[in-house]
Amino acid sequence: MVGQAIRFHHEPDAYDLPDKTLPGGAVSLIAVTHIAEHLANDLDGEVDLEVGPVLFERALAHLGIDGNEMEELREALITARSEA
Q: Where are the domains of the chain?
A: 2-83
Comparing C-alpha atoms, which of 31, 20, 24, 25 is closest to residue 54? Answer: 31
Q: Express each pLDDT in 32-82 by its tens digit.
A: 999 999 999 999 999 988 899 999 999 999 999 999 999 999 999 999 989
b/e burial code for range 36-60 (CB count within 10 A of at least 16 → b): ebbbebeeeeeebeebeeebbebbb
What integer pLDDT is reported at residue 22 of this predicted model? 96
What integer pLDDT is reported at residue 14 of this predicted model? 95
- Work out the burial of residue 22: count CB atoms within 10 Å of its CB; fewer than 13 is exposed, 13-18 middle, 19 or more buried: buried
| Reported pTM | 0.90
